[in-house]
């Protein structure tokens, strides 16, 4: 099961909106369709979005080639893809990186973009392996671990970030149980993390997001471990909405709160030289369930997709180049 692939000139995305019950793949032939798929969360998770964007640039390069203004069109398509979701740094970073290699004759653009994206996939796979190994120092045999959202193969196209660390820790040390937050409103925890934990043979239970304090207070959590969409120079972490609350709860209960993410999710310009936009999604994701209105008719909702956890609440940040402790200076 591959979250992101490029075959026969098409971007193939596993439709994560339908998992775990249906395994359906979308075949995408235009940059605009790739952009819609990223925005609609067919593919999601910061590194997987970056990978899909790099492959989408192959489609953009192909479209631009036959345009009267190839460079202008390429830049417009790149801007469209990079703007599909604003919070994960990986998306714009990879689009910019592909643009940087598209120098020279336009006939070579698609091939150049494709080799960048394929090399990027290989690099991400290696990084995932290294992060899982580097994170081992956070675990002890028999631990109970709480995680949020989905950070597995579905979120990176490789092994995953925090998820791969959990699987490696269970394989080498043995964990008692993983608590997977359901992760309202898109249920990445209940649908995707539980699915991947099940396939990896890791004992787990799904809990509602609001139950985290209860389980921490009951001594049923020894470590909270999550991924990141963007890490600032001082260790602040933008991640799925609810992450900040978990970090505050963990601090109150004396439980370590750790983040696993590749260097490509780090943004040294944030916060000093850059503000970060928190994606605001459609209120219907909160007000409806499977297309049926459940909230009071006439009530509106806020639906921020991410929050920001201050670096001082983060006990450790694990990247492919090591395990870092506060104070952070990335
Ligand atoms: O909205 P999503 O599903 O793209 O959000 C994903 C997350 O918040 C993940 O925790 C993050 O991208 C890390 S993925 C390895």
Question: Ligand 1 center to residue 149 CA distance, Å?
Answer: 6
Measure 184 CA to ligand 1 centroid, in angstroms.
13
- What atom of ligand 1 comes closest to residue 148's alpha carbon? 10
pLDDT digits (tens, 9 = 90+) for 286-317: 999 999 999 999 999 999 999 999 999 999 99
In this structure, are residues 34 and 55 in contact, taking their beta carbons and an 8 Å threshold? Answer: yes
Ligand 1 neighbour 229 (Cβ under 6 A): yes
Domain of 60, CATH number, reads 1.20.120.420
Ligand 1 binding pocket includes 124 (Cβ within 6 Å)? no
Is-above-0.85 flag for pTM?
Answer: yes
Res 241: pLDDT: 98
Residue 206 lies in a domain: yes
Active-site residue, selected from the candidate residues 229, 234, 267, 282: 229
Q: Provide the pLDDT for residue 255.
A: 98
Between the CA of 250 and the centroid of ligand 1 the distance, in Å, is 20
Residues 187 and 281 in one domain: yes
CA 106 / ligand 1 centre spacing (Å): 34
Calculate mean pLDDT across residues 262-266: 95
Is the minimum distance from the CB of 95 to ligand 1 under 6 angstroms? no
The average confidence (pLDDT) of the chain is: 97
Same domain, 155 and 29: no
Whether 188 is in the pocket of ligand 1, judged by its Cβ within 6 Å, is yes
330: in domain: no
Q: Which atom of ligand 1 is nearest to the CA of 156?
A: 15
- pLDDT given at position 17: 98
pLDDT, one tens digit per residue, over 46-60 is 999 999 999 999 999
Asked if residues 292 and 104 have their Cβ atoms less than 8 Å apart, the reply is no
| Chain centroid, CA 132 distance in Å | 16
Q: Indicate if 86 and 151 belong to the same structural domain.
A: no
Reported as a pLDDT band with limits 50, 70 and 90, residue 206 is: very high
Residue appearing with tokens 């539980």: 194
Protein residue with least CA distance to atom 8, ligand 1: 240
Domain shared by 85 and 209, yes or no: no
Q: H or E stretch including 186?
A: none
Residue 279, domain extent: 133-324
pLDDT at 220: 98
Is the CB of 47 within 6 Å of ligand 1? yes
The DSSP annotation for 213-254 comes to HHHHHTT--SEEEE--SEEETTS-EEEETTHHHHHHHHHHHT
Q: Please, which pLDDT band fits residue 156 given cuts at 50, 70 and 90? A: very high
Residue 324: predicted pLDDT: 98
Residues 8 and 148 reside in one and the same domain: no
30 and 68 co-located in one domain: yes
CA 280 to chain centre: 16
Query: Residue 258 sits in a domain of what CATH number?
Result: 3.40.50.10470
- Residues 251, 162 share a domain: yes
Give SS3 for 50.
helix
Last residue of a domain, one of 89, 104, 129: 129
Predicted local confidence at residue 298, as pLDDT: 97
> Are 267 and 215 contained in the same domain?
yes
pLDDT tens track for 109-123: 999 999 999 999 999
pLDDT band at 45 (very low <50, low <70, confident <90, very high): very high
Percentage of the chain surpassing pLDDT 70? 100
pLDDT band at 318; cut points 50, 70, 90: very high
With a 6 A CB cut-off, is 228 part of the ligand 1 pocket?
A: yes
Given 107, 129, 151, the domain boundary residue is 129
Please indicate, yes or no, whether residues 67 and 176 belong to a single structural domain of this protein: no
User: What is the structure's pLDDT at 155?
Assistant: 97
Nearest Cα residue to atom 5 of ligand 1? 45
pLDDT of residue 89: 94
Does the CB atom of residue 149 touch ligand 1 within 6 A?
A: yes
What's the pLDDT at 299? Answer: 98
Pairing assessment for the beta strands 237-240 and 230-232 based on DSSP bridges: antiparallel
CA of 281 to the centre of ligand 1 (A): 14
Say if 175 falls within a structural domain: yes
Is 234 part of the annotated catalytic residue set?
Answer: no
236 and 193 within one domain: yes
Decide whether any atom of ligand 1 lies within 6 Å of the 309 Cβ.
Answer: no
Q: How far is the centre of ligand 1, averaged over its atoms, from the C-alpha of 284 (Å)?
A: 20
Output the pLDDT for position 309.
Answer: 98
């Amino acid at each position: 099961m591959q979250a992101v692939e490029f075959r026969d000139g098409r971007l193939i995305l596993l439709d994560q909106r339908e998992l775990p019950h249906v395994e359906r793949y979308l075949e995408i032939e235009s940059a605009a369709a790739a952009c819609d798929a990223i925005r609609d969360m067919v593919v999601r998770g910061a590194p997987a979005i970056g990978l899909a964007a790099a492959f989408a640039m192959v489609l953009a390069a192909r479209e631009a080639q036959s345009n009267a203004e190839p460079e202008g069109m390429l830049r417009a398509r790149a801007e469209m893809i990079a703007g599909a979701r604003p919070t994960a740094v990986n998306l714009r970073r990879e689009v910019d990186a592909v643009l940087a290699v598209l120098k020279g004759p336009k006939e070579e653009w698609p091939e150049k973009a494709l080799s960048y994206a394929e090399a990027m996939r290989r690099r991400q796979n290696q990084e995932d392996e290294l992060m899982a190994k580097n994170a081992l120092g956070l675990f002890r045999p028999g631990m109970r671990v709480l995680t949020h959202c989905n950070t597995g193969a579905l979120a990176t196209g490789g092994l995953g970030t925090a998820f791969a660390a959990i699987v490696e820790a269970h394989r080498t040390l043995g964990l008692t149980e993983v608590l997977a937050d359901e992760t309202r409103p898109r249920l990445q925890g209940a649908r995707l993390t539980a699915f991947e934990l099940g396939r990896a043979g890791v004992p787990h239970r799904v809990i509602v997001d609001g139950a985290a304090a209860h389980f921490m207070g009951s001594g049923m959590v020894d470590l909270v471990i999550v991924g990141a969409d963007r890490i600032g120079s001082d260790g602040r972490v933008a991640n799925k909405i609810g992450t900040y609350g978990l970090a505050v709860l963990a601090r109150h209960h004396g439980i370590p709160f750790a983040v696993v993410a590749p260097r490509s999710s780090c943004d040294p310009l944030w916060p000093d030289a850059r503000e970060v936009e928190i994606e605001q999604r459609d209120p219907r994701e909160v007000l409806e369930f499977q297309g049926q209105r459940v909230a009071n008719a006439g009530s509106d909702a806020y639906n921020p997709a991410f929050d920001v956890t201050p670096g001082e609440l983060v006990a450790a940040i694990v990247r492919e180049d090591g395990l870092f402790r506060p104070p952070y200076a990335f």
